[in-house]
Structure 1
């Protein structure tokens, strides 16, 4: 009969289907596993230490301690690098037409880019630029860009301003063109955040569209100000 612990392709198939029990660990594998668990537990103790405490205890480290500290250091470096890559923006970048390809269509993999085309002297454009500054700080993993419209697209009509284009990996995913889309000068930063979240560009913590809250309040105040039929009948009497 074939050894059920043998490393064969047939045995692997039988184990996956539950016909054979899991392969028994060799003594050597058990020792390696125990050593790994010990190292991980030692690393956990160092995670609770400050840098000063580590330096104070460094003279007492044995080989196992040094390996654990090195493992911990590598983990922290990897975490820091991941954070740096993810949070590499945080400010609004101003570009011209010649920067468009490099900064937008070739921006990079897994990257959202939000571009605002604006022009000086248009109040709503100035308001959106102001909101962009706050949103760029709040969502540093998203690339927020602004550009004077005609420097990117020659003869771009002012009636289309403000315009916002949303890209992912260089492909356009959404566009908001003209003042009516934004609801005029009453546009809040939260409303703009909600609009962008609906495109997938940002992950908002807002639970519902702030514009809906305002509209509900307006409708409620209108209903309160309109006299009911009962009130009208009592006035007639």
Structure 2
């Protein structure tokens, strides 16, 4: 008569069968591993609790944190700021002429990300929105080159309904293109939407200190985005 064996039971007979490879080893209880992972995650979170703090916020924690621990993060923030200052070469929107496109965009993308805004010549609301956001991003992220050219001056017969078009260059190649702001948030696109795009592209790191803070003027702009856009107030830089 065949005796059925439950391989998960803790019995002396099962131990003998396991030793001889007749039945598989009893599955390990996952709870200790889960508990260990949770403790490790909690420890990492505690160790990294100052990762998103800037210099002023670190100074405000002097009475709460160990001074040596704070100093490590101060030095790290200062090093990050120094690197950003050294790589901030652009800090403005570069208006393009077609004849200069290869030099100013394609060749320049060997040393930095270059983003081109193919904008509209008319009262295109999304073009107006992106032109304003382009200025804000160029000022904030000086290590990325932001360019702008009227679409029909760059590509003959380019349809206005496809503007604005964003072209992202790196190492002389187009890495991404967005036709209109539909993939972002349409006419309600905000700086945060474009910052997320830059992170996804690898042009910015998620830990970039410049992503941590929002100025009052940026908050005002976001609030203004909820109001109706007055296209007649738009000054076309290309006229």
Looking at CA atoms only, which structure, 1 or 2, has the larger radius of gyration?
Answer: 1
Query: TM-score, normalized by length of structure 1?
Result: 0.49
Structure showing greater relative contact order (alpha-carbon pairs closer than 8 Å, 6 or more residues apart): 2
With the length of structure 2 as denominator, give the TM-score of the two structures. Answer: 0.49
Which structure dedicates a bigger proportion of its chain to helix? 1
